[in-house]
Amino acid sequence: MQEREAILTIRDLSAAYEDTAVLCDVDLEVKKGEVLCIVGESGSGKSTLIRTICADPQITVTGGEICYQETKLTGMNKRERQKMLGTRIGMIQQNPWGAFNPIRRIDVQFKETFQSHGICFDPEKCKDIFSVLGLKDAGKILKMRPYELSGGMSQRIAIAAAFALEPELLLCDEITSALDVTTAMAVTDQLLELKETLGTTIVPVTHNLGMAKCIADRIAIMYRGRIVECEETDEILRCPKHEYTKRLLQDVPRLKVV
């Protein structure tokens, strides 16, 4: 099988919140077209890592570099980075309500998002993505306001907004953590269906090894601000090398590796 090319490369990355170090010498390579799950407990640095990729202003890079294909993101000015985010690198936040103004219509907010990236709003395209995500009567939904929607529906719409911009790389920050099990599985399945349709590379952050087992081509384990292990999913579940990975597996008694 031909080796996939890297779409994102992180080398020796260190970062801090003010004077508090949160990432230390992180090395990670994401291959085009794969699903790479970053797994770790709360406080391990996994969400901080993807926010650092997206140039969160609260995080300061203190060492190393982030490269998107051949483009170095670290050191890029705000305007240059803004051009990359959304259309080439997308992100879905943990809290779907945080992505929208709760009292403004969905279609208005979609239009503004498209316009901010120099793209014409295409309602038919949005309706097609809504359909794949199991959102019926897209025309009616687009006229609604976020406060009128359930958590599961809000999360689907946040996914639709990200995919409508057709990013090549999509970062997902614990997007199922606030959903019930049934809704979480439905959202995950539909996310993968969109990935197969558009060929998007997806990097989900999760504390749930069971979910990672179901969707990931590879799993990266994060502990105390470092990537301590990164392997193909079957390999990391069958033969974990790091003690932290072994402990994570012990904490998921119903996870069967066959």
Query: Residue 4 has which token pair?
Result: 């996939």
3-state SS assignment for residue 33: coil
Task: Judge whether 168 and 200 are in contact, CB under 8 Å.
Answer: yes
Cα torsion for 38, 94, 21, 226, to the nearest 10°?
A: -10
> For residue 2, what pLDDT is reported?
56
The reported pLDDT for the residue numbered 254 is: 53
Output the CA–CA distances (angstroms, integers) from residue 58 to 15, 48, 49, 128, 192, in the order listed.
10, 10, 12, 36, 31
Residue 13 pLDDT greater than 80, yes or no: yes
Asked if residue 255 has pLDDT above 60, the reply is no
Query: Quick one: pLDDT at residue 38?
Result: 97
pLDDT, tens only, 84-120 = 887 789 888 877 667 788 899 999 999 988 888 888 8
Percent of the chain scored above 70 by pLDDT?
A: 94
Mean pLDDT of 170-197: 80
Quote the pTM value. Answer: 0.87
Burial (0-12, 13-18, 19+ Cβ within 10 Å), 121: middle
Residue of 252, 245, 253, 251 whose CA lies nearest to 40:
245
Q: In the chain, what are the domains?
A: 6-95+168-250 (3.40.50.300)
Residue bearing tokens 């640095």? 45
Predicted confidence at residue 48, as pLDDT, reads: 94
Question: What is the mean pLDDT of the segment spanning 185-202?
Answer: 83
Rounded Cα–Cα distance for residues 26 and 206 (Å): 17
What would the pLDDT profile of 130-162 be if each residue is shown by its tens digit?
887 778 888 899 999 988 988 778 888 888 888
**Which structure tokens are listed for 126?**
């949005």
